[in-house]
Structure 1
Amino acid sequence: MTRKSVLIIGANRAVGFNLVKAFIADSWEVTGTVPPQARVDKDPALAELEKTGIKILELDYLNEGTIERAAIAYGNRPLDILVNLGGPPPKPKHWYEQTADLMAEQFGVMTVGPIITAKHFLLQLERAADAKIVNVSSSFGSIAANTFGFFLAYRAAKAALHQSVLTMAREWEAEGRKVTTVCVDPGFLAAHSRSWDGGGDMNACIACLMRIFERITPKDNGAFLL
């Protein structure tokens, strides 16, 4: 029996690394990505990821060339789930601390990167019978739920991700494509760091995400799931 396959973008980070372990435990064929700079810097998180034995690709959300090369390196194998994870923490806090470069970088990492990654891996996704793209987002991207402000760039980038995913979902439906794409909120976690110093419970977060992966259906296409 052919094992199902998952590609986790940002597999050397907290949520990503723990998802790798969870999918391995469920006997999935797991591929993960790390930024090219991780090898240059000899990132200890990369060494830990290598110990899992999964296939590791290099991918930088801010460099489309690396995304395209990662898709080529993955090959023509079916891809059942693509998990888009990368993203900086929700900082700086105040509107007046934002800069043009910072806002452009956050938009590039949290909005553009996941969409371009989906584009380049679409052929592999369409080779799977029930393919899903899960974009790990945040309720900070909700306009209606923004009752206290702060974290302008982060909120704007996540809101743009939600709109982009919904737009893509509607276009794919019209084109007859059978790939389901959604956004999910894993809760408030230190997702940008391998060290565990954030709020929430990592084990509960991973268990919740694994349940979400299992229950996503085509009816959820374009949705934001909690």
Structure 2
Amino acid sequence: MRYVITGASRGIGFEFVQQLLRRGDTVDAGVRSPEGARRLEPLTREVGNRLRIHALDVESDASIRSFAADVCAAPVDVLINNAGVSGLWCAFTEVDYTDLARTLAVNALGPLRVTSALLPALRRGAVRKVAHVSSRMGSVSSNTEGGAYAYRMSKAALNMGVRTLANDLRAEGLTTVLLHPGWVQTDMGGPQATLPAVDSVRGMLRVIDGMGPEHSGRFFDYQGEEVPW
């Protein structure tokens, strides 16, 4: 199986790459910076051409076009839209609207842009699956706290976008779902996080492997439980 992963150089994305390579899959990894590429390069010495590393900034149309030109030469079975930013976590009176706009651009618009650019290759894939790493913090009904406006709003926007995308692409047999990874021990999750990345990714891969057309447009956590909207 051929997987494409965005935000692949650290945290959850890096763990996706490692686990997929270990089980024998092929991975095209999108990374934003040269430093991120260097982090992945040691894996290429172990797996050879089963890992290909590409520059990708999901805020940039030009970068996405270049990425798609490289990736779409062959069919893509599964796309995992993982790239994201936390934005500034602050009270309402301290919201930075430039930061909020950028967080929306990365977390909500980025996955749609990448999916659109890779759609020709996904249509030729064997399983035609797209998974988007979202967050329970994008659940409107679960929100009982204030703060984190940029992150919450960006993930809620992503959730609506993917729900709409599922309706548009269902007739083509393309399955797309949202995934809540849990509170994961990464740079973004912070030192208080309770869930190791290895466990989160193992669970999300189990969900991705098992998802079919009947799951499209739905929102699951890493244990396969449905998350409320």
| The two structures share one fold, judged by TM-score above 0.5 | yes
| Residue 163 (structure 1) aligned to one of 160, 165, 168 | 160
Residue 202 (structure 2) pairs with residue 211 (structure 1):
no
**Counterpart-to-counterpart distance in 2, 1:198 and 1:19:** 22
CA offset at residue 90 of structure 1? 5.4
Corresponding residue for 2:121?
124
- Is 1:189–1:198's contact at 8 Å kept on the other side of the alignment? no
Deviation by residue 1:70-116 (Cα, 9 ceiling, x = unmatched) = 01011331111101111112532322221221111000000000001
Tell me whether 22-31 or 94-103 shows the greater mean CA deviation: 94-103
SS of 1:103's partner is helix
- Is 1:89–1:192's contact at 8 Å kept on the other side of the alignment? no
* Alignment gaps of 5+ in structure 1: none
Q: What value does the CA root-mean-square deviation take over the aligned residues? A: 1.6
* Alignment gaps of 5+ in structure 2: 45-50, 222-229
SS of 1:121's partner is helix
Residue 83 (structure 2) pairs with residue 92 (structure 1):
no
- The amino acid of 1:31's aligned partner reads D
**Relative to 1, partners in 2 of residues 1:198 and 1:29: Cα closer, same or farther, differing over 3 Å?**
farther
Residue 72 (structure 2) pairs with residue 75 (structure 1):
yes
Deviation by residue 1:154-182 (Cα, 9 ceiling, x = unmatched) = 10110000000011111122xx2121111
- The amino acid of 1:97's aligned partner reads E
- Is 1:8–1:84's contact at 8 Å kept on the other side of the alignment? yes
Alignment of 1:132-171 (within 5 A): 132-171=129-168
Identity of aligned residues (%): 27
Corresponding residue for 2:26?
29
**Counterpart-to-counterpart distance in 1, 2:154 and 2:72:** 30
**Relative to 1, partners in 2 of residues 1:192 and 1:62: Cα closer, same or farther, differing over 3 Å?**
farther
- Is 2:140–2:156's contact at 8 Å kept on the other side of the alignment? yes
Residue 48 (structure 2) pairs with residue 51 (structure 1):
no
Deviation by residue 1:54-80 (Cα, 9 ceiling, x = unmatched) = 201111111011111101011331111
- Is 1:14–1:196's contact at 8 Å kept on the other side of the alignment? no
SS of 2:115's partner is helix
CA offset at residue 46 of structure 1? 2.7
**Counterpart-to-counterpart distance in 2, 1:83 and 1:148:** 29
What's the TM-score once normalised by structure 1's chain length? 0.90
**Counterpart-to-counterpart distance in 1, 2:60 and 2:14:** 22
| Residue 184 (structure 1) aligned to one of 176, 179, 183 | 179
